[in-house]
Every structure is written in structure tokens, then in C-alpha cells.
Amino acid sequence: MTHSPAVRVTIDLGSDTATRPTAAMLAAMTTAPVGDEQLGEDPTTAALEARVADLLGKEAALFLPSGTMCNQIALVLHTRPGDEVICADSAHVYGSEGAGVAVLGGALVRPIACARGIFGPDQLSAAVRRPKMRSPRSRLVVMEQTANRGGGAVWPLATIAAVAARAREHGLAVHMDGARLLNACVASGIAARDYARPFDTAWVDFSKGLGCPVGAVLAGPRDFIQDAWVWKHRLGGALRQSGVLAAACLHALDHHVERLAEDHENARIFAARAAAIPGVRIDPPEVETNIVFLDLAASGVDAATVSARLRQAGIRIMIEGPTRMRAVTHLDVSRAGVEKAADALAHAVELGAG
């Protein structure tokens, strides 16, 4: 990986993973009661797992170092080698997890081409294979709430219910990648357990909008979570005094959930200003949560040029394609920050191809 020696980034819209722990979060971490997690003796981790199991309405939950590990453990347990996982073509499990589904589980992915990372029951049915000796066995459907590369789109509850019901008719298991589930909850007013109900397994990430340095929690049936423990250990994810990390997550559940509304508001403010720049298009135009995709095609400037100019101003917006960029709001970017970033973007685009 290369790091450009540009000016220090002061407004980081590259991802909502860019947050630093707050002073109050650090205080919670340093005072947490801890023990050896592998021996089941860390009380703070146990409290977090119980809290997330309740939040998602599941029997049990397991603290893991990352969302990727939640997805990979769930996928490997839901499938057998040669099975097929169905998800949106923009899904993180398909394009952004080092092909773990194939490497760890020996499974295939059947991606569904869909707008905004959301598909319906008929698209699911079209992707399910008829049982044949020579075909992969369709086994699992994954829905991503919110859909990251769908521009932070929120899966409507009715669509989730319809897709999950159809999945059951086909005999498939159903898994939620809930990296930004709580953003969906705050945007829609729908409880996490209502979104999670149709799923066998679901997880939430703490290192994104919730502002923690590390951590995600996978929830599901008790026996599934017991099996997940074996994989956690196998992958090197079993920890020792993990309560230091779990305390940050508990703090975030208490203090960083409702405030996600501010991130959504800042994303809308940024998007409105960016959309007013000649040649810049917001894609899709409706910003539902904290993610904004920009399309610069009509401006004649490419994303790499704009990104380099923004970096000189201490601003990071992620390059997503030749003329596509992604901005993500979070705890460490204020309203003034997004306004400044939008002004800098206007300047970077107005300079032209140079």
C-alpha cells in the first residue's frame, strides 16, 4: 500500500471508519472490568454480546474483531463447499472480502445486478438454481443494510420481508450484513430487531459510524454462535482482555446511535452543495444516510485529479472509479467540515482537466 506525502488530512470523508475514539470512549475503555475472553471470563465482552443479541432479537451473539470476520464466519457456517451465495453485485461479501467466500468456504457467489444494492423477490427467484446434480446448490441470500455501494440506500422493511419469505420458499438461509444497520434504523425510525427478524444471522459494526476503533458483533441462534466460536478461534480472532474494546462498543451504543442523524444531515448538506457544482452529479440523487456518491463524468475532470487537489487542501474523498468518488460523513466531520469540503470540491472541479 502506498501513502501519498500530501498535506495532512483534516477533513476525512474517505470513510466512516476514519473516526478516532472520543475522550469519553477512551475513559470507558480504561475503566472496564476485563478477564480472559477465551476462557469466557471477560464480563464487558459478555455484556456487549448480551446487549447486541437483545438489540437484534437473537438468542446469542459473538464479539469479533471486524465486520469482515462476521460475514466470513457466517458464510462459511451457512454453506458447504460447492454451494452458492446470492447477493447484490455491489455487495461487500462479493467484491471486498478477499474472495473469502471461495477461499474459506469453497462456495460460489451468484451476484444480482441491481440498482442501489437492493433487489426484490423475483430477482432472487431468477438467481436461484433448479436442483441439478451438475449445478451449484443455492444456499444463502445476503442483504446489506445499508447498501454501501448502493449509496447508503436503506432496504425497505417490506422488501426485506418479501425477499426473506421467497428465500424460505426456496429453502435458503438468510444473512444480514449490518455494517451500517444502525444508520438505517436512525434514518427510518425502524428498530434494529424489526429489521433483523427475518434473518437467521445478522451483525452490526462498531468501527464505522459508531466511532469505535475495533469491533463487530455477530448474532444468531445459540448453536450457530457456538460453532462461530470455533471459527473465531481458527481465524485468530479469539482475544484475551477484549473488554477494553467491548467497553468502547457499549459506550457507542449509549452515546453514538441517535447522533447518526447528524451524519445523515451533513451528508445531505454536502450532497446539495456538490450537486450545484457544474458537471457534478450525485448518484443516486437521494441521499438516505451517510454516503454520497459523486459522478464527475460531465465535468471533464477525472477523480484522480480532483482527489489530488483535495488532498492538497487536507481533504479526502475516496476514488471509486475513473470519474466516480465517494464521500462518507461521520462523528469526526462537522457541518462546517462538509461545507468546507464541498467548497474545495467546487474549486477542484472548476480548475478543469488542467
Ligand X SMILES: Cc1ncc(COP(=O)(O)O)c(C=O)c1O
Kindly indicate which of the ranges 60-68, 98-106, 232-240, 313-321 contains the residues binding ligand X, using the contact rule CB under 6 A: 60-68
Q: Which is nearer to ligand X, 283 or 339 (CB)?
A: 283
Nearer to ligand X by C-beta: 100 or 243? 100
CB of 205 to ligand X, least distance (A): 5
The region, left, alpha or beta by phi > 0 then psi within -120 to 50, assigned to residue 286 is: beta
270 alpha carbon, distance to own chain's centre: 20
**Residue 287 C-beta: closest distance to ligand X, Å:** 16
Q: Is residue 58 part of the contact set for ligand X (CB under 6 A)? A: no
Output the residue with the shortest Cβ distance to ligand X: 67
159-188 residues in contact with ligand X (CB under 6 A) are 177, 179
Q: Which stretch binds ligand X (CB under 6 A): 61-69, 107-115, 225-233, 259-267?
A: 61-69
Binding map of ligand X across residues 73-92, x = CB under 6 A, - = no contact: -------------------x
Q: Which residue's entry shows cell 441470500?
A: 141
Count Cβ atoms within 10 A of the Cβ of residue 70 and give its class: 0-12 exposed, 13-18 middle, 19 or more buried.
buried
Between 9 and 48, how does the x/- string for binding to ligand X read (CB under 6 A)? ----------------------------------------
Cell 467466500 appears where? 101
Site for ligand X in 201-240 (CB under 6 A): 205, 207, 216
Which lies closer to ligand X via its Cβ, residue 142 or residue 303? 142
Nearest to 87 by CA among 27, 151, 12, 138: 138
- Which residues are CB-neighbours of 149 under 8 A, at least 6 positions away? 90, 91, 92, 95, 117
> Could you say whether residue 246 binds ligand X (CB under 6 A)?
no
# of chain residues touching ligand X (CB under 6 A): 12
What is the contact surface with ligand X in residues (CB under 6 A)? 66-68, 71, 92, 144, 148, 177, 179, 205, 207, 216
